[in-house]
Structure 1
Amino acid sequence: MNQRARIAMPDDDVTAFVENSGKLQLATINPDGTPHLVTMFYGLDEGRIAFWTYAKSQKARNLARDPRVSCLVEAGESYDELRGVLVYGTAALVDDREHVMAIGLKVARRTTPGVADELLLPYVEKTGLKRVAYVVESTKVVSWDHRRLR
């Protein structure tokens, strides 16, 4: 077995890692072809990565032109602790306002664990007026867990 295969996470570990992480690096494509990379909080929508952003943000403009994305969720400080999941796919625009708000609430719950929904809803409703949401349709997933080398 090669080293790449040894460090790949089993599917259940990939799912658990994405479910239990809080933020990701989102790459979209700028008009000149360069990557636009930002840190995003995210939620899960039927197991898929979902996020929201201001409608006039650079990432939203990029996604309107080209919906391809890369989403990196990673952890670890030293080489032997590095773990990550890289999801390649397309970001599907969510245009239903209720669905946008539901995604916003999922993101808010993950960024403020233990805070009751009734306290989160005013924030979600206010900031959601200027936001759009996306769900990532995965085309390829790559994972690694260097702890498996021990």
Structure 2
Amino acid sequence: MKNLGVYMSLFFLIFGGIIFWQSLSMDYYSDYGPGPGLLPRWAGGLIIVLSLLNIVLSLKKEIIKLGDVMPKGEGAINVLTCMGSFVIFMIIVPFVGFVCGGIITLFILFKRGYKWYSALGLSSLVILIIFFVFGVALDIPLPVNQYGW
């Protein structure tokens, strides 16, 4: 069986089952009304029902293969570049901090569409604005290097 719809539905069926099972350990009602288990129990149950419905529909409809939905050529390179830059960001940010890691990551992404100096300027500007808004104005702790940025 090579039907991608069935495989994705099975994944979400298991995911919904885990959510539903974990929600059973939380109170459905509290002293003040709905408890912390209400939303995950209903969301998990809805995911389970919709996954089962999608399995039935996927078996009746035409088969969707993985190769049909995966991007090819330039699109595949863009997807791999995005995923690779995200992995690079996760690896280097504990060592070089948010600002340097973010500039490197955005430079990798922007380099595909802009000249190198424009990509470097844009990535620096965007990361510095994000750092100012979240790190300074909202006082949300961001990973920093030994220089505080």
Q: Which of the pair has the greater relative contact order for Cα pairs under 8 Å at 6+ separation?
A: 1
Structure whose CA Rg is larger: 2
Bigger fraction of residues in helix: 2
TM-score (norm. length: structure 2): 0.30
Bigger fraction of residues in strand: 1
TM-score (norm. length: structure 1): 0.30
